[in-house]
Chains A and B, each alone.
Chain A
Amino acid sequence: MKFSPLALNNACLVTLPKEMVITQTPTLRAAITHQIETGSNKLVLDLHQVEFIDSSGLSVLVSALKLTQKKAGEIILLSPSSGVRALIELTRLHHVFAIYEDRTAAIEHICEQ
């Protein structure tokens, strides 16, 4: 997992790893929660590397969404693979997440004041 700062102070690009399954989720959740708690309330979660995700992996995305909403922030999901997108759509979570395919557009959107 990688955190890259963006042009806007409170915005951040989070590149998620290949696997987001039950064994990794506590670590991922803690890292993202820390990032939000320390001031980044606007996140682009880059999913292009994610190959395996299960429902506990999705719960990391949901906890990030709820936390940023509480802090008047925003979450964007970027480039999920077709498998990941299928799971997001099956669980209907595409109704609550903004999903972008274009990296530049996602970063531009999140950096809008």
Chain B
Amino acid sequence: MLDSLFKFQTENLNILIVEDTQSERCFIAKLLQSMGLHVSSCSSAEQAILEYERQEVDIVISDWRMPGITGPELCEHLKSLPFPPYIILLTSNNLAEHMIQGIESGADDFISKPFVPSVLKVRILAAARIVKLQRKLTHKNSELNTALANEHEYLEQIQSDMKSAVKLQSSHLPSSSHLINQWHLATRFNPAQELAGDIFQCIEIDKTHIGFYLLDVTGHGIAASMQSFTLAQQLSCSSCDWESLNPALIINKLNQDFEDPENNGRFATLILGIVNSLTGEVKLTVAGHPQPILLDDTGARLMELDSGLPLGIDKQFSYRYSKFTLKSHQHLMLYSDGLYESQHPKFGEFGITRLVKRCDQAHSLSPESLLHHLSHSIDLWQQKKPQDDISMMLLSAPSLFKQSRTLDSAPVKELYFSHVATEDQTFKNEADINEVLPIQQPLSKAPITSASDCISRRIYE
């Protein structure tokens, strides 16, 4: 029983005997060979060091006292190598002090001469167990290292993919530019992570109309940005009916096609509008998104337009749009929630009120400078640690408005809002009006801000 266990445990083990006395050397070698072990031998430690470099050795059995390098010195040398063997020291001295010195120098075990063969045999068995365990660990280690290297490579691949995705994402965003009929666009985009859930765009629909939107998908990272990309794709000129000039219609379609396959409750908030660049008339739909800010020569104020549910909440929801006019020197600012939700460790949230106040104080700045100023304020507020994606888009009416004849005869003096439900007769007569813009049914008992509340007012702090 012990024999078969011994054979199994010591299989493939190579033993090196280091002993200066020839008779001793031969005795131990014969003994070990009779146990079925692979044995080689040297007459000195110097020779053993050379031999160890040449062949694979698992266990070294060395005499203590030898001319030249001694047993403990050999131990020290072998144990300093990257792959040291298991070492058993032999000595005729049975002093505890000797044993301590031997083990301190790196020996794993210690046998005093003369020894009983069966004692050597079980010591070899113990050594075999440890050598096998070490082999196993080395193997596992190299497996882990390989796996780690693969993971590392994979991660690098993902990071480089992310980098190109980020480049792609920002290349799709419009930069500050001049639009048709002297309208102007200023934009700013600061992603919190590498990939953002925010996206915005400005489109010249025809020679008169400019379409624009800013949307924010919940969360950030890969999934959120994929979703915002999908929405942007659906809103591109080729797949979206911008020519209908009806924001509510466009958003209804977008909402019906919104998918959340994992049921993560993912939704998107959005502002989408269409402006007539000749008259300044804006049709705008808000879907659960923060209200735009209106800036002009006198200051800044938060608009109070009708707002519907975010996209992805209720497929049956019918969106509506508000109508108002942007006059000369007026700017419409759209932004994502990252702008005012940024937290200061002591003062808390930046907040919409503070945002409007900052805009009010800085209303005389040029559009680009204003966005730069806001971006800097937020940066300081969140102490230069981006918390959420920040998008800003400022649409400016030309300073000298060449308004069309119809409007010249009835100039728009006040900013006004109106739901189509209270819109004038000519508009109501359009055949598809009820289909496109039905009067919204409240979905719960919660109160809805009435249309009469929708009067723009200045915000004072």
Contacts and interface: CB of A to CB of B under 8 A. Distances in A.
A60 B265 CA distance: 6
Given A97-B444, A99-B446, A59 B218 contact: yes
A97 B445 CA distance: 9
Contacts of A24: none
B261 to A, nearest CB: 12
B187 to A, nearest CB: 21
Contacts of B442: 95
A86 to B, nearest CB: 9
Nearest to B286: A92
B313 A93 contact: yes
A55 B218 contact: yes
B265 A55 contact: no
Contact of A91 (B263, B288, B446, B448): B288
Interface string A87-108: 0001111111111000000000
A66 B309 contact: no
Contacts of A95: 309, 442-444, 446, 448
Contact of A93 (B310, B337, B341, B349): B310
B444 A59 contact: no
A98 B444 CA distance: 7
Interface string A31-63: 001000000000000000000101110111111
Given A55-B216, A93-B288, A63 B265 contact: yes
Contacts of B269: 55, 91
A55 B264 contact: no
A67 interface: yes
A1 interface: no
Interface string B265-303: 111010000000000000000011110000000000000
Contacts of A61: 265
B337 A55 contact: yes
A92 B309 contact: yes
B220 interface: yes
B314 interface: yes
B310 A91 contact: yes
Contacts of A60: 265
Contacts of B349: 83
Contact of A22 (B219, B263, B446): B219
B91 interface: no
A64 interface: yes
A65 interface: yes
Nearest to B216: A55
Interface in B421-448: 442-446, 448
Nearest to A61: B265
Given A92-B309, A93-B288, A56 B314 contact: no
B290 A90 contact: yes
Contacts of B396: none
20 contacts: A54-B337, A55-B216, A58-B218, A59-B219, A62-B265, A62-B266, A62-B267, A63-B263, A63-B265, A65-B265, A90-B290, A91-B289, A91-B310, A92-B287, A92-B309, A92-B310, A95-B448, A96-B309, A96-B443, A98-B445
Interface of B: 216, 218-220, 260, 263-267, 269, 287-290, 307-310, 312-314, 337, 341, 343, 349, 388, 442-446, 448
Given A64-B265, A65-B265, A96-B309, 10 more contacts: A22-B219, A25-B219, A54-B388, A55-B337, A56-B218, A66-B263, A91-B288, A92-B308, A94-B446, A95-B309
Q: Which 7 A-B pairs have the closest CB atoms?
A: A63-B265, A62-B265, A59-B265, A91-B288, A55-B218, A94-B446, A59-B218
